[in-house]
Amino acid sequence: MMTHPETKTDTTAWLQAVSQMVAQLVDCDSSEKLLSVTLPDLLSSVGMASGGVVINDAGTWRCQHWTGPQVTLPTDLLEETLDRSQPTITDSWCASLIRQTSTASDSPLWVTPPKVLLLQSTKRLSLSSGSLNHMVDLLANSIRLIADSELKSKRIGQLAVVLKSSAAWLQIDDDEQLLRHIADTATQLLQCERASIFLWDKRRKKLIGRPALGIEDKALEVSDDAGVVGEVLQSGEAKIWNSVSDDESRVNRSVDRQHAFQTHSLVAVPMRGQRNEIIGVFEAINHRGRIFDAEHALVLSDLAQHAAVAIQAAGARRQLSESCDRLVRDAASDAQLIGAHPDVRQVRINADKVARTDLSVLILGKNGTGKEVLARHLHYQSDRRSGPFIAVNCAALVESLLESELFGHERGAFTDANQTRVGKFELANGGTLFLDEIGDMSPGGQAKLLRVLEEKVVVRVGGSQTIPVDVRVIAATNQPLEQMIVEKRFREDLYFRLNVVSLTLPALCDRGDDVLLLAEHFLQHFCYQIGRQAPTLTDSAKSALLSYPWPGNIRELRNTMERVCYLVTQSQITADDLSLATSPGSRLAVPSGAPLVSRRFDTPHELSESTRIFQIEHIKRAIESCGGNMTEAASLLGLHRSNLYRKMRQLGMNTSESDSESDSNSESETESDDIS
């Protein structure tokens, strides 16, 4: 190129051209605009004929943007410019490399073709070669900077869509809907005809395409080594294919044929799970109008990364909710309220009516009649079934511990409070709190409980923060609460709060044939547990079961059947096998030789008094038969030792001799406690 040595004129021309270019640069937001606005002015200000940006596409140079008359590209000069990486100036050409941005991606696919700014002159220029050099370099750098910022704002836009979409995906639980949503996002973002997610069935060596867009209600299944998708799976790398330049054998045309579709171009990227393992391939087909390039692969990879997280999270959520449902179902089946007696049926009908409400329920009934079973039944029939069921034995809570047990305490609240403890109310949040033996709660405890029930907030002992609790309370007692109110032993206001609905369970001896129904249920249950065939009950056994007064109610029947299952190996159970007349419990209850059935009806007392006398006798004999060992006697009676003491005091029995065995276990009981 013919240039002047540097002169004053040269400097003026150069300054004019540069200041014009800078002024135009300020308003340019795209490299295309920069070239179409700046280049013509620049060319004319320095007296050049034509110029533009040329690109090396797969080894061939072509004009990407050109101003002025068309020219034959000087390929040798362009190659030399590439090699030298600095402006090349000849008699008629001036070329400067437009450097690539390195920040777009570290993907191996991200190799954008080299570009050169090329200017042509047919006459002697008014610029020195040094000035021309600077000017061309300035323009090439400006093009690069604007292209960079263009690319970055495009990436920001794409990433914003990816993030917004992925946040939406995390809310979708349904698999089909999620995959469709992901594929739709890809088709919009990549402007393509179809997008499919292929999940890898490793065991069957298959890739299952879902959703197979355009193929309604069908999953597309391909071998995991077939086509470009197979290549991606095997290599773990993104692949681009287009029909114009790439090998035809790489695409799986059988899929096209099956679905009357023609693939022209595709991009596919691996989808990786949490441990970076490949879980599938994400594919986009037929870019509308053009072929896919590295930028599309990059966007699809972004989508694939978030799609994999969403798919795995949905799977994990589904598994969790399935296992939660299973656990709830198992727990609910354990809380089956078995019984066909009209009174039990009525209780069940009433229970089912109130279960779905949040009304407080008071369950009344003798020990062992199934009050906790009924409370669980209410819980599992309610909308709170997936929440916790927490049972508290109020009789076992001494006043000093009641508050901390029910409402929790903060660390350091009292001497032994080494750490913060969550109370039962908080534990039951979202579920049901079963307050068993509510009649045994101390007056102080009753007042505190009432306050929490009214305010629906708890404050931990030693804390100041109020903690809202959403808990349904079910209380139970075998005590005459109304009588206790008269005697000022139970708060009337608490009674009305707890007793919005009351359900009364009949004693087992008043349930007729339910004894047999329950006996058979327990036989099946325990025999199943130990893996043996359940034996049948002979007539003598049935009649013994029906005649026996069952002072320990269903709990006693359950214990008897459990013992039978373990100890009686024959396939038929006789009355003798039941040992109702010889087992400690029954031996104590029934004088030897006395017919079981007559005992129940010959008594001169009312049923409640008879039961009281019977219980006193029964306990005395248990203690006797255990040689005065209260722990053993309690266990024989199916009671906790502390509850045996309490029961004795309740029955007016003298506990002073036995009291010497101080009760160390009486402080706090949780859901698993059985008390009578």
Contacts with ligand ATP, residue ranges (CB under 6 A): 336-339, 365, 367-373, 436, 478, 554-555, 558, 674-676
Cα distance between residue 124 and residue 434, in whole Å: 100
Q: Which is nearer to ligand ATP, 292 or 550 (CB)?
A: 550
User: Closest Cα to residue 482, out of 473, 474, 491?
Assistant: 491
On whether the CB atoms of residues 572 and 579 are closer than 8 A, the answer is no
Tokens 């193929």 locate to: 215
Task: Reduce the DSSP state of residue 389 to 3 states and report it.
Answer: strand
Shortest spacing between CB 448 and ligand ATP, in angstroms: 22
What is the DSSP-derived secondary structure letter of residue 114? P
In total, the chain counts a number of residues equal to: 676
Q: Which is nearer to ligand ATP, 339 or 431 (CB)?
A: 339
Torsion over CA of 132, 135, 136 and 140, rounded to 10 degrees? Answer: 170
Shortest spacing between CB 523 and ligand ATP, in angstroms: 12
Shortest spacing between CB 548 and ligand ATP, in angstroms: 16
Q: Which residues pair with 53 in a beta bridge?
A: 65, 117
What is the DSSP-derived secondary structure letter of residue 451? H
Q: Which is nearer to ligand ATP, 432 or 676 (CB)?
A: 676
Shortest spacing between CB 614 and ligand ATP, in angstroms: 16
Shortest spacing between CB 673 and ligand ATP, in angstroms: 8
Q: Which is nearer to ligand ATP, 370 or 431 (CB)?
A: 370
Residue type present at position 466: T
On whether the CB atoms of residues 361 and 354 are closer than 8 A, the answer is yes
Q: Which is nearer to ligand ATP, 36 or 635 (CB)?
A: 635
Buried b (16+ CB within 10 A) or exposed e, 75-87: eebbeebbeeeeb
Shortest spacing between CB 284 and ligand ATP, in angstroms: 59
Shortest spacing between CB 339 and ligand ATP, in angstroms: 5
Tokens of 506: 């009949």
What residue is closest to ligand ATP based on CB? 370
On whether the CB atoms of residues 45 and 12 are closer than 8 A, the answer is no
Q: Which is nearer to ligand ATP, 3 or 559 (CB)?
A: 559
Q: Which is nearer to ligand ATP, 31 or 553 (CB)?
A: 553
Tokens of 554: 């269903």
On whether the CB atoms of residues 267 and 110 are closer than 8 A, the answer is no
Shortest spacing between CB 273 and ligand ATP, in angstroms: 44
On whether the CB atoms of residues 55 and 62 are closer than 8 A, the answer is yes
Q: Which is nearer to ligand ATP, 149 or 350 (CB)?
A: 350
Q: Which is nearer to ligand ATP, 31 or 478 (CB)?
A: 478
Shortest spacing between CB 585 and ligand ATP, in angstroms: 14
On whether the CB atoms of residues 137 and 89 are closer than 8 A, the answer is no
Cα distance between residue 242 and residue 339, in whole Å: 72
